[in-house]
Structure 1
Amino acid sequence: MKSSSSLSSTWDPKSESHIQDAKQRLHIWPLDEANTSLLNQVHPKEWSHTSDDTIYDLISIGAGAGGLVSSRQTARRGGKSCMISASLAGGDCLNVGCVPSKALIKSAKLIRQVQKAHSNEFGVTVENVQIDFDRIMQRMRELRAEIAPIDGHERGEEIGTTVYQGFGSFVNENTVQVTSPTGEIIQLKFKKAAICTGGRATIPPNIQGLNDAPYVTNETLFNLQTLPKHMVILGSGVVALEMAQCFSTFGSKVTILVRSNTLFPNSDAEAGPELERILTKNNENIEFLKQTTLTSVETLSNPTDVAELPLMKLNIDVDGTTTVIDDCDCLLIAAGRTANVEKLNLEAANVQYDVHKGVIVDDYARSVSNPNVYSVGDCTADVPRLTHMSGEMAKVVVNNALFEHDWKLSSLVVPSCMYTEPEFGTVGNVLGGDDVDVYKTSLEHNDRAILDSDREGYVKIFCKKGTGEIIGGSIIASRAGEIINEVSLAMKYGISLEEVGRNIHCYPTTGEAVMGCGLQLINSKWKRLD
């Protein structure tokens, strides 16, 4: 029996019950035209399926990048496919991650460019610059809604994926049940299943008053309607630094609580100090407090009007000394991620997992305890928590689960990028050591960087000692996210640093700095006339 779907009503921005449902259950507000359009695509107000007797080739539990790619690729390749969407299709990336953050980053970058132009360095004088936070946030919501249809339920069903809206959990080793928002329950049979439930912000335990405090995470940050006067960020990773630079540019004072004595202590040793120097240079709105522990939060006020900001008092241990911040009106928790696995009833499916790290898999993305269940993305233990990693893992799962291939996670070369200005891109092993050769090109003498007045940063290539075999790359540059892809390609296909150095690059480009590292190695081996 074929299932049937219905989309019988849309979100009504004038309905008080719809407004409360969007705000309290889905954490989306305001329910304006843009957010209404978003929800109509990724979480229709009423979307239902009748139960059927289909045995699905692949059921994807979760509707982020992993669930979307695995379910839709299965359908495109002839399989019977369904996807279970508990919250917002598109997952963190579309709704509360990559998409909204990059929209804010673009606005902040333009503001900094205008401020730089105001100095008349470029022969351009700009007067009466105004920053409109309301419009910045509205633009973000509009662009998010514009992108949403590609991830929406109707698009999935056009491709051939049956979309169930509700919370998915296991009944046994080959059955999943879906509990709809209204409490209806249906059961679905599968040959293979992919757990794609993502992750959430980790809320640190043992901080007095934190659980009752009106803090925000990435899930609620993009709902802000008022610019904070003093934002305090617990954490110093990618989310923390991207948003710190954005909101400091918009006009907020930003204090970043760093647990260690440097940024990115497990990465390229030079990167942390260099990024801190750049982010604080000519920016009086950013302050780093290092070797800190947030010990308590006292809520001084918590308005019911979401357009108003709360007020909190924070007690912070800074390298053994107590510091008090009594004017925090936005506390952003960005201190790591926790896998969404604890409510899936994984025991019933004989799926081993770690409550924080996620599902434990083998090199084929397959559960180590149930060969018919796979895991994709942020809910998986010990894999990079990146959207593009989720998408690639989904391809691995479809090929291995349905077509008996042996694609391995260990074969993937996964770059990452923090989209601050300048950007910070990394791939592979960037820790250095006695068995590693490091080639570095500063942007100080890169012609494109000079012409753009963007000389901050460098390109570093890490090679196996005594060879040109590339094992990693670390790039701080205005286009690091684009440049790092060349290094990733070279690593994946065994292209040596010498070959990269001999590859002709367009002039003038910041990417020539990669070639510059290759030329250093080539030049060290030059034969010379006596």
Structure 2
Amino acid sequence: MTEAIEYDVVVLGAGPVGENVADRVRAAGLSAAIVESELVGGECSYWACMPSKALLRPVIARAEARRVPGLSPSVQGPLDVPAVLAHRDEYTSHWKDDGQVAWLESTGTVLHRGHGRLDGEKRVTVTDPEGGVQVLTARHAVAVCTGTSAIVPDLPGLAGAKPWTSREATSSRSVPDRLVVVGGGVVGVEMATAYQGFGSDVTLLVRGDGLLPRMEPFVGELVADSLTEAGASVRTGVSAASVERDGGSGPVTVVLDNGERIEADEILFATGRAPRTSDIGLDTVGLKAGWLTVDDSCRVEGSDWLYAVGDVNHRALLTHQGKYQARIAGAAIGARAQGVPLLESDRWGAHAATADHAAVPQVVFTEPEAASVGLSLKEAEQAGHRVRAVDYEIGNVAGASLYAEGYRGRARMIVDLDSEILRGVTFVGPGVGELLHSATVAVAGEVPISRLWHAVPSYPTISEVWLRLLEAYRDA
């Protein structure tokens, strides 16, 4: 029998979420172990946030520079793609996790390399790459922070066609001449933007009516227009029915549901994410594989020791939101371990991930950028709030016209007519990602409209759109 190693807390998954849970419980004075089968730093560091934004930044910067008088003639040529890929490699630390491991160890967290699996209450087995097994037990809590993986649909011929998922798209060593992207969500539109900018002939296939369906409808319309103007083919209302590729090499042919055939060099499926919970032993504690339902402290419903933090709980599949949950869960674990009552009555207190419901921020790094926080108009109405949408064309703001000639963008705030606070804010346009935190503070802080009048935007900045929105609400 392998002797068990005991810790206060055991964390499954050393991505950003797991790292932050471990850091917070260590800050609370508890011992912690973390289990990871791949690279410490997780999906975000090596195959998602960091590499994708390193790829996108030159594309977006060039597009914006082309609209600046005096600069435009200097940036009409192609990007130096090898330099972009080399920069991407630096931001992934060349897919080595030495720096992340050093940080983790600096917190006092013990790293166990291998596949972690629950084996009953507060017990985890770790199978290392050589087949050795260790048993870890937790005095107080086990936190599942295993994240998600890309969904690839079960289409005829797809398995042998070696399709890309987000991992291949963000780590590719070369740029295909022709790329088909299936899916109109964040990954699909961001990778279509990047590879179109690199010179690929991009075809974007979207099953629904538009892009970025979880945002306000005008966002997807502007992004689709921009992709089309850049040379991409954006096809909505179509689906891939089958894929053909002889021997897994050479061109790939996509057969659409209408019988049309499209040939490309690579095909990327960006069609959603599934939780990595199928082989972590949930059955040993009476749970089924799938998304894990939690309370606002991220504790799994029906358990007093098991937590699910980040993507696996399906509350908000975003790195920054998962790290926010990790801070909440770590504080809750620490408080419970010390017998300190949780601040459960305070919805914005230290032990409740209320922002998951009311103030989730997101930036989509397309050209133009899209940014939103809180509820869309449709979501607010479905939640039963009595609201009004207030819109303004960002290009009419002096700061926007200085930012780029022909600036196109739109802002919307969703005002609760009963409480006169903001339920949500959406921006689309060049550079709007940097506007979002002000909106996040307003929504999370439930700042009254009357007080927002006293938050004076600097002139001439794009932030002056806030004043224009308030005026439009007043004059409606």
Q: Would you say same fold, with TM above 0.5?
A: yes
3-state SS of paired residue (1:359): coil
Superposition deviation, residue 497 in structure 1: 2.7
CA contact (8 A) 2:181 2:267 kept: yes
- The alignment status of 1:397 with 2:345, answered yes or no, reads no
Superposition deviation, residue 354 in structure 1: 5.2
In the TM superposition, 1:197-208 aligns within 5 A as: 197-205=146-154, 207-208=155-156
Between the aligned partners of 2:465 and 2:305, the Cα distance in structure 1 is: 46
Between the aligned partners of 1:252 and 1:348, the Cα distance in structure 2 is: 48
Between the aligned partners of 1:165 and 1:90, the Cα distance in structure 2 is: 13
Between the aligned partners of 2:145 and 2:192, the Cα distance in structure 1 is: 29
3-state SS of paired residue (2:74): coil
CA contact (8 A) 1:353 1:360 kept: no
Task: Indicate the residue corresponding to 1:428 in structure 2.
Answer: 374
CA offsets 1:104-135 (integer angstroms, 9 cap, x no match): 11121244356557xxx426633883433222
Between the aligned partners of 2:73 and 2:293, the Cα distance in structure 1 is: 57
Between the aligned partners of 1:423 and 1:223, the Cα distance in structure 2 is: 22
Between the aligned partners of 1:496 and 1:52, the Cα distance in structure 2 is: 58
3-state SS of paired residue (1:125): helix
In 2 relative to 1, CA 59–235 (structure 1 residues): closer, same or farther, beyond 3 Å? same
Between the aligned partners of 1:456 and 1:150, the Cα distance in structure 2 is: 43
Superposition deviation, residue 488 in structure 1: 1.5
Task: Indicate the residue corresponding to 2:352 in structure 1.
Answer: 408
Between the aligned partners of 1:427 and 1:55, the Cα distance in structure 2 is: 41
3-state SS of paired residue (2:171): coil
In the TM superposition, 1:76-475 aligns within 5 A as: 76-113=27-64, 121-122=69-70, 125-126=73-74, 129-145=77-93, 152-190=100-138, 191-205=140-154, 207-281=155-229, 283-284=230-231, 286-300=232-246, 302-303=248-249, 310-317=250-257, 321-326=258-263, 328-350=264-286, 352-353=287-288, 355=290, 358-381=291-314, 383-404=315-336, 405=342, 406=344, 407-412=351-356, 413-432=359-378, 433=381, 435-453=386-404, 455-465=407-417, 467-475=419-427
In 2 relative to 1, CA 516–243 (structure 1 residues): closer, same or farther, beyond 3 Å? same
Between the aligned partners of 1:497 and 1:354, the Cα distance in structure 2 is: 44
Letter of the structure 2 residue corresponding to residue 291 of structure 1: G
Letter of the structure 1 residue corresponding to residue 208 of structure 2: S
In the TM superposition, 1:32-111 aligns within 5 A as: 54-111=5-62
In 2 relative to 1, CA 462–490 (structure 1 residues): closer, same or farther, beyond 3 Å? same
In 2 relative to 1, CA 466–393 (structure 1 residues): closer, same or farther, beyond 3 Å? closer
3-state SS of paired residue (2:9): strand
Between the aligned partners of 1:124 and 1:333, the Cα distance in structure 2 is: 34
Between the aligned partners of 1:199 and 1:380, the Cα distance in structure 2 is: 10
Task: Indicate the residue corresponding to 2:347 in structure 1.
Answer: none
Between the aligned partners of 1:377 and 1:57, the Cα distance in structure 2 is: 20
Letter of the structure 1 residue corresponding to residue 394 of structure 2: L
CA offsets 1:7-65 (integer angstroms, 9 cap, x no match): xxxxxxxxxxxxxxxxxxxxxxxxxxxxxxxxxxxxxxxxxxxx875421111100111
Question: How much identity, in percent, do the aligned residues show?
Answer: 24
Superposition deviation, residue 443 in structure 1: 1.4
CA contact (8 A) 2:65 2:75 kept: no
CA contact (8 A) 1:448 1:510 kept: yes
Aligned CA RMSD, in angstroms, stands at 2.2
In 2 relative to 1, CA 157–408 (structure 1 residues): closer, same or farther, beyond 3 Å? same
In the TM superposition, 1:482-501 aligns within 5 A as: 482-501=434-453
Superposition deviation, residue 323 in structure 1: 1.3
Letter of the structure 2 residue corresponding to residue 497 of structure 1: I
In 2 relative to 1, CA 496–149 (structure 1 residues): closer, same or farther, beyond 3 Å? farther
In 2 relative to 1, CA 116–462 (structure 1 residues): closer, same or farther, beyond 3 Å? closer
Task: Indicate the residue corresponding to 1:46 in structure 2.
Answer: none
Between the aligned partners of 1:99 and 1:353, the Cα distance in structure 2 is: 32
User: Scaled by the length of structure 2, what TM-score is found?
Assistant: 0.90
CA contact (8 A) 2:35 2:111 kept: yes
3-state SS of paired residue (2:54): helix
User: Scaled by the length of structure 1, what TM-score is found?
Assistant: 0.81
Superposition deviation, residue 140 in structure 1: 0.6
Structure 2: 5+ residue runs without aligned partners? 337-341, 345-350
Superposition deviation, residue 518 in structure 1: 1.7
